[in-house]
Amino acid sequence: MERRFRLQPVLTFRRDREKMIQIELGQLQADELAARQQLDALALQVSGAVTHVADYQEGGRGRDVRVIEQSLLYLGALDERLADQRCVIADLEGRIAAKREELLAAVKDRKVMEKLKERHDRAYADWAAKMESRAIDDVVIARYHRDARDASLLI
C-alpha cells in the first residue's frame, strides 16, 4: 500500500477552487456594500433636492416656473438613478446567492476528498501496523527457533 494519497492533486485543486470562490464572494459582497452606499447617497440627494424645492416654493420665490421645472427634471433624473441602482443591487444579490451556492458545493466537494484522504491515512496506518506486527512476529519466531536449536545442541 502506498503512503501517498493518490488523489492529493484533486484535493489541492478543490481547496484552491474553494478559496477562489470565497475571494469572488467577498468581492461581490464588497460591490454590494458599495452599491448600497451609492443608493443611500442618492437617497440623500433626493431628500435634499425635495427639501430645496419645497423651501424655494415656500420662500415666496416659487413663482419662477423654469426653476421649478428644472428641479422636477433633476428629481426625475435622480429617481431614475435610484431605480437603476436598485436594479444593480438586485443583480448583485442574485449573483451573491449563486456564488454562495457554488461555495457550498465546493466545500462539500472538498470535504468528500478530505474524508477519502482520512480514510486512506487510516487504512495506511492499519496496514503499517500489521506489517510491523508481522515483522516483530517473524523476529520472535526466528529467535525462538534459534534458541530452541541452541538448546538442543547443548543437550
> What gap in Å lies between CA 71 and CA 13, rounded to an integer?
57
Instruction: Give the pLDDT of residue 155.
Output: 65
Instruction: Give the pLDDT of residue 1.
Output: 75
Q: At 146, is the pLDDT very low, low, confident or very high (cuts 50, 70, 90)?
A: confident
The count of other CB atoms within 10 Å of the CB of residue 89 is: 16
Instruction: Give the pLDDT of residue 140.
Output: 92
Query: What mean pLDDT comes out for the span 18-36?
Result: 98
Query: What mean pLDDT comes out for the span 112-134?
Result: 95
HSE-CB for 17 with a 13 A CA cutoff:
17
Instruction: Give the pLDDT of residue 43.
Output: 95
- HEC sequence for the chain: CCCCCCCHHHHHHHHHHHHHHHHHHHHHHHHHHHHHHHHHHHHHHHHHHHHHHHHHHHHHHCCCHHHHHHHHHHHHHHHHHHHHHHHHHHHHHHHHHHHHHHHHHHHHHHHHHHHHHHHHHHHHHHHHHHHHHHHHHHHHHHHHHHHHHHHHHHC
Q: pLDDT (tens digit, 9 = 90+) per residue, 40-99?
A: 999 999 999 888 888 877 766 556 778 888 888 999 999 999 999 999 999 999 999 999
* pTM for the predicted model, two decimal places: 0.74
Instruction: Give the pLDDT of residue 62.
Output: 52
Instruction: Indicate if the pLDDT at residue 35 is higher than 80.
Output: yes
Q: Which residue has the higher pLDDT, 153 or 34?
A: 34
